[in-house]
A and B are shown apart, each in its own frame.
Chain A
C-alpha cells in the first residue's frame, strides 16, 4: 500500500513535470526565436577590442541574467541517464534556453541604451540547488558585455 502510494506520487510528479515542463519549453523557444530575429541588428561579438569604425563610440557594460528551473521529468531522465552515461539531452535544452535568454536580455538592455553592438561577451553560470542539493535545482546564466553606443555630435 505504501509502495503504491509512493509510486502514485512519483508518476503524478513525472506527468506534471512532463506536461508543464514541455509546454513551458515550447513557449520559451518560440519567444526566443522571435526576439532573436528582432535583435539581429544588435551585433554581439566576443572580440575584446571594438572594431575600428566603432572606436569613437561610448562604452558601457550591459548584462542579462536569467534563472530557469528544471522540471521533475528532466531530473528523472537525467538521473536515469547518469547511470549509463551519454548525452544529457534533457539538460542540454535547459542550458541552451538559459544562454540564449541571457543574451537576449543583455541585447534588450543594449537596445534601450541605443547601442549598435555589444563586444567582449562573457558568460557566468551557477546552479541553485533547492533543499541542500536534494530537491530540484535551477540554473542561473548571466551574460555580460560592453555595449558600444554612438556619440551624438553636439
Chain B
C-alpha cells in the first residue's frame, strides 16, 4: 500500500494551543474586567446617590417598622430621659420634611457610638451618654444623626452597598451571597456613610444646633473626647464607622464660630 503512512506525522505545536504567554492573557483580562467593574460600581454609586432619595420615606418605615425600643434598665433610666429631652429639643429645630418621623433608641452598650439607619431610627449607646456630659455635646451628636436621616443617607448607603454586592455576586457567580443580601438582618444597621455624607451631616447638624441653643460651648465635646481617646479600647469602633475625625473637628469648629 503506497498511501499507507509508515509513521505518524509530526504536527506543528501551535495548532491546538496558544503560544502567547499566559500572564499576558491574564493581565489583559484583569485590566479589562477591572475597568468594566470599576465603571459599573461608579455608575451604581452615582445612581444610588441621585435616585435613592426619590424613594418615599414611608418605604423605609416598612423595612424597619417592627423595631421597638426595649425597656431601658433601671440604672440608665435617668440617662434615657436626658436623651429623650435633648432629642426632642433638637428634633423641633431640624426642619424635616413632613412625612419624616424620627425614633430615638437607647442601646445598652459600653462602646460610645451613635448611628442612624433606615426609617428614621437613631441609636445612641449608653457608652456615649456617659462620656458626653454637656447637653450641647449630646445634641450635636443627635443632630448629626438626624442630618443623616434628613439627607436620606441611610437609603443611599444601603442602595449602593446592596447593588454593588449584588453585581459582585453575579460576576463571581456566588448565588448564596446574593440571597443573603436580600434578608434585612445585620447589614442594615452597619450602614457605611462616606466622607462627603459625614461632612454634609456635620454642616447641617451645626445649623440645627445654632437654632436650638443660645450658647454653642461644648458642641464639639464628643469629637474632642473621641480624638483624645483614640486608640483606647471601645473607641476604635467609632473610628471605623466615622473616619476623618480630626478633619471633621476642624470643620465643625470653624462652622461653630
Among A40-48, A122-130, A139-147, the stretch in contact with B: A40-48
B5 closest partner in A (C-beta): A43
Q: How many residues of A contact B (CB 8 A)?
A: 28
Task: Decide if B33 is an interface residue (CB 8 Å cutoff).
Answer: yes
Specify the main secondary structure of chain B where it touches its partner: loop
Task: Decide if A153 is an interface residue (CB 8 Å cutoff).
Answer: no
Task: Decide if B66 is an interface residue (CB 8 Å cutoff).
Answer: no
A87 proximity list for chain B (CB < 8 A): 18
A40 proximity list for chain B (CB < 8 A): 7-8, 10
With A22-B22, A40-B10, A89-B22 in contact, is A51–B4 under 8 Å at CB? yes
Task: Decide if A90 is an interface residue (CB 8 Å cutoff).
Answer: yes
B4 proximity list for chain A (CB < 8 A): 43, 51, 53
Among B23-31, B41-49, B85-93, B148-156, the stretch in contact with A: B23-31
Task: Decide if A109 is an interface residue (CB 8 Å cutoff).
Answer: no
Which among B1, B10, B18, B23 is the interface contact of A92 at CB below 8 angstroms? B18
B26→A92 contact, CB < 8 A: no
Chain B, interface size: which category?
20 to 34
A89 proximity list for chain B (CB < 8 A): 17-18, 20, 22, 25
The docked-state distance in angstroms from the alpha carbon of A43 to that of B22 is 33
Q: Which of B8, B10, B171 has the most CB of A within 10 A?
A: B8
A44 proximity list for chain B (CB < 8 A): 8
A43→B7 contact, CB < 8 A: yes
Task: Decide if B254 is an interface residue (CB 8 Å cutoff).
Answer: no
B8→A90 contact, CB < 8 A: no
The docked-state distance in angstroms from the alpha carbon of A58 to that of B5 is 20
The docked-state distance in angstroms from the alpha carbon of A96 to that of B19 is 13
Within the complex, what minimum Cβ distance (angstroms) separates A80 from chain B? Answer: 4
Q: Which of B16, B22, B30 has the most CB of A within 10 A?
A: B22
The docked-state distance in angstroms from the alpha carbon of A96 to that of B5 is 23
B3 closest partner in A (C-beta): A51
A83→B33 contact, CB < 8 A: yes
Interface residues of B, Cβ cutoff 8 Å to A: 1, 4-8, 10, 16-18, 20, 22-23, 25-26, 29-30, 32-33, 171
A sample of 28 inter-chain contacts (CB < 8 A) reads A18-B22, A18-B23, A22-B22, A36-B10, A39-B8, A40-B7, A40-B8, A42-B8, A43-B5, A43-B7, A43-B8, A45-B5, A51-B1, A52-B1, A73-B22, A73-B26, A77-B29, A80-B26, A81-B29, A84-B29, A84-B32, A84-B33, A87-B18, A89-B20, A89-B22, A90-B25, A92-B18, A93-B17
Besides the known contacts A95-B16, A96-B17, 20 further A-B residue pairs in the complex with CB atoms under 8 A apart: A22-B22, A36-B10, A39-B8, A40-B10, A41-B7, A43-B4, A51-B1, A73-B26, A77-B25, A77-B26, A80-B26, A80-B33, A84-B29, A87-B18, A89-B17, A89-B18, A89-B20, A89-B22, A89-B25, A92-B18
